[in-house]
Structure 1
Amino acid sequence: MNQVVMHTGCGAEAGLISVDDALALITVRTQRLGTEQLPLQQALGRYLAQDVHSKINLPLFAQSAVDGYAISAIAEIDAGAEFALIGEIRAGQTANVALKNGQAVRIFTGAPIPDGTTTVARQEIVNVAEQKIVLTSPLKLHADTRDAGEEISVGQILAAKGQKLSVGAIAALSMAGISHCEVYAYPKIAVVITGDEVAENIDDYSAGKIFDANAPLIAVWFQSQLAHVEIMHVTDDKNAVLNLFAHLKDQYDVILTTGGVSVGDYDFVRPVALDLGFKQIFWKVKQKPGKPMLFAEYKREDASSCYLLGLPGNPAAVYVGMQIYTDTLLKALQGQTEPLSWFSGVITHDLKADARERFLRMSVQFEQGAVQLTSLAKQQSHMLSNLMQANGLVRIPAGQSIQAGNLLHGLLIQQ
């Protein structure tokens, strides 16, 4: 049984909300964007804004499933049966012949089956002799034929509103003759990296600065979402942050920031946002890493909104914020309100308790019939090197010591 441990200190102060409450607030308080019509081949990764119905049958017409011979017979056919060969139909041609009992035509895969056809004989069981064919094996009626509409019928729903368009979905819709679709608009996003400490080169690094992991992390995360964002840097200067936010709030659907969101002397993101009219939805989440996270909304005169998601500056906190909160926000803007899909797995070792819920980077493996979780070293919020091995982000409940064999929940993460 898990032991409940009481804590004081960091993570136990009043005013923090839970991870689940923060996610629920993002989902409930986010106004979805409008829709747009896109060519299907440009809609990969987007969410459908309405059901898509088929306007055709699939297959469009009865057709052969093999290269062989379309045959007309009144009963099942025995080996040795002969049929008069009266023509040929290739894929793309019109079947302008009607078969009578005892007749056959050469036919190819996908070619329309002529009227009067009762079955198709694959070429491997046929011998051809002058103007006739002879079957070498018995054959049942309706063999190797594809009936019109057997996969999809006219009016059938091909894809439902809210479905994400994958490669397979786009292929399936294309086969049904769909060329355009109505999808939710993708948000226009400004990414603001705050701070004076970013090094431009090794000399800067040795002078007390650090290399920036956050901008590349965020850039490639959005690339993995097939999306483009504007990334900009701003110094830890209140006027600089104010001027930038004043411009962005009217131009973008989302301002995503890293750093400057806590209570330090140079943390200006929250006070500047509030001064500009953003309404705080929550600030500080009972989690580790990423406690001082901010979510706020600016309501414009046209009733549209700009959302501010302020992530802490430590790169591990940014990574967690992207995988969990940014993903939830982007989906909510596109009409998706389903909770994140957490997998379940068994931890292979003990973990000490912490006052805050933790997100640990882990190795997730399927072994001995179960999903097994193993925590990786170097979990501090300024460290990212274990992402070379991690493929899971696992939730560790607050105030509980964890024993090997306990069931935990997590997200599979991109390598």
Structure 2
Amino acid sequence: MSGCSTEHGLITVDQALDLILEQTHTLATEKLKLNQALSRYLAEDVYSSINLPLFSQSAVDGYALCAQSSIEPNTEFNLIGEIQAGHSSELKLKAGQAVRIFTGAKIPFGTTTVARQEIVQVIDASRIKIMENLKANADIRDVGEEISIGQLLASKGQQLSVGAIASLSMAGISTVEFVQYPKVAVVITGDEVAESVEDFATGKIFDANGPLIEAWFQQVGQQIEIFHVADTEDAVKSLIQKLSKSYDLILTTGGVSVGDYDFIRPVALDIGFEQIFWKVKQKPGKPMFFAQLERNDRSHCYLLGLPGNPAAVYVGMQIYTSSLLNALQGQKQQPKWFSAVLTHDVKMDGRERFLRMSASFDQSILKVKSLSKQQSHMLSNLMQANCLVRIPAGQSLREGDIVHGLFIH
């Protein structure tokens, strides 16, 4: 075996991911309102300061009753009032008395059970009859039955989902401490980007990387700033130097290989960035570059340089950018690879490959199938792909072999 697969200095995918997790410093924390916190990571444990329910309340529309024992069919009660949800009442029930009550309303003092309205016959304005057997404490939501004061609601490091935000809001939590989200600058390098169809006559192409990255960040609900820079050393150096002063992460596409116009790496090193790794034994995306700069205030700027081919950018975003963003927020763990059954043979390659595949269940077994047009300059199969599958270096795989992958959106 020869060529780039045995090139000196290449590290493995797992080594690259480990270096990202080990070398990345967690950002500072900030207080946020819950409506700003979707997908953010908690910087502290969150405990309840209240009981849920706050008070004993009715679980149904019906009647609060006071009885000395279980209630038999045809038992009558005197109706003495009504309590709506959200309204307070000083009513107190005595044996044989009832109050009309609605879902969520506070149970009046003396209530022993609640009868849902479907089993109640209204005799007249002051009397009702219960038509079925009714046990004590039926359809009553007891104070604190879901959450009690001091109970742990959410743990440090937990990522807030829609459901988690709703749960915390119901418990009266309005603001929480979170790890800051990285301030991200995206730099698209190259003179070859076309702005119109007419530009094709001069050998230019449409830009896929900018829209790809912008959409990826929109998907995770985060804002970024995108910059385009010409393929000149001075232009690249000026921009990277400027961005390194105020951004937590500079994400670049193109300019990280060894061509005459690949300036990202030499410029970054000249500015003062420390190389963590350069070149990964993978396909697509071998000439990936990761470096860090420690600023005067001891904060850090990270630079993740992705190759220019759009498929390599896509793989880099799904695996490395995602891991780096999580690490900056204190989540230092490898991607969560799934296991699946391969539906066809795959030839050997000297580098580990990430193939765009289609995953589906067949009789409760997750299976994956490769798609055509896997070259690094091609993206059309992303119309069908829903996962990236790892194909180990130096191995031929057979139909039925177990492989590992990552779901994509």
TM-score normalised by length of structure 2: 0.98
Q: What is the aligned partner in structure 2 of residue 301 from structure 1?
A: 296
Q: 2:62 aligns with which of 50, 62, 68?
A: 68
1:30-41 alignment runs, 5 A limit: 30-41=24-35
Which deviates more from structure 2 when the two are superposed, residues 253-262 or residues 237-246?
A: 237-246
1:10-409 alignment runs, 5 A limit: 10-130=4-124, 131-409=126-404
Distance 1:402 1:287 in 2: 17
Cα-to-partner distance string for 1:355-412 (whole Å, 9 max, x where unaligned)? 1111111111112111110101000000000000111111111111111111111111
The Cα of 1:180 is off from its aligned counterpart by 0.8
Which deviates more from structure 2 when the two are superposed, residues 11-20 or residues 255-264?
A: 11-20
Distance 1:355 1:260 in 2: 24
Distance 1:109 1:293 in 2: 59
Cα-to-partner distance string for 1:20-55 (whole Å, 9 max, x where unaligned)? 111111011001110111111011121111111111
The Cα of 1:251 is off from its aligned counterpart by 1.5
The Cα of 1:74 is off from its aligned counterpart by 1.8
The Cα of 1:338 is off from its aligned counterpart by 2.2
The Cα of 1:265 is off from its aligned counterpart by 1.1
Which amino acid counterpart does residue 328 of structure 1 have in structure 2? S
The Cα of 1:206 is off from its aligned counterpart by 2.9
| Contact 1:242/1:272, CA 8 A, preserved across alignment | yes
| Contact 1:19/1:287, CA 8 A, preserved across alignment | yes
Which amino acid counterpart does residue 28 of structure 1 have in structure 2? E
Which amino acid counterpart does residue 34 of structure 2 have in structure 1? L
Distance 1:306 1:288 in 2: 27
Matched position secondary structure for 1:352: coil
Matched position secondary structure for 1:271: helix
Which amino acid counterpart does residue 118 of structure 1 have in structure 2? T
The Cα of 1:95 is off from its aligned counterpart by 3.3
| Contact 1:253/1:306, CA 8 A, preserved across alignment | yes
TM-score normalised by length of structure 1: 0.97
The Cα of 1:136 is off from its aligned counterpart by 1.1
Which amino acid counterpart does residue 344 of structure 2 have in structure 1? H
Distance 1:366 1:96 in 2: 59
Distance 1:345 1:108 in 2: 51
Distance 1:88 1:269 in 2: 74
Distance 1:243 1:106 in 2: 74
The Cα of 1:82 is off from its aligned counterpart by 1.1
Matched position secondary structure for 2:239: helix
| Contact 1:95/1:113, CA 8 A, preserved across alignment | no
Matched position secondary structure for 2:98: strand
Which amino acid counterpart does residue 81 of structure 1 have in structure 2? T
The Cα of 1:306 is off from its aligned counterpart by 0.5
Matched position secondary structure for 1:10: helix
Matched position secondary structure for 1:86: strand
Distance 2:152 2:201 in 1: 61
Which amino acid counterpart does residue 93 of structure 1 have in structure 2? H
Matched position secondary structure for 2:31: strand
* Structure 2 unaligned residues grouped into runs of 5+: none
State percent identity of aligned pairs: 66
Matched position secondary structure for 2:321: helix
Distance 1:334 1:318 in 2: 22
Distance 2:338 2:136 in 1: 48
The Cα of 1:207 is off from its aligned counterpart by 2.1
Structure 1 outlier segments of 4+, above 6 Å: none
Distance 1:344 1:392 in 2: 11
Q: What is the aligned partner in structure 2 of residue 8 from structure 1?
A: 2
The Cα of 1:248 is off from its aligned counterpart by 1.1
Which amino acid counterpart does residue 156 of structure 1 have in structure 2? Q
Cα-to-partner distance string for 1:114-172 (whole Å, 9 max, x where unaligned)? 11111110000000112111111111111111011111111111111111111111111
The Cα of 1:270 is off from its aligned counterpart by 0.6
Distance 1:96 1:224 in 2: 51
Cα-to-partner distance string for 1:220-244 (whole Å, 9 max, x where unaligned)? 1111111111101111111111111
Distance 1:72 1:402 in 2: 72
Measured on the aligned residues, the alpha-carbon RMSD in Å equals 0.9
Cα-to-partner distance string for 1:73-110 (whole Å, 9 max, x where unaligned)? 12211111111111111101113112111111110000
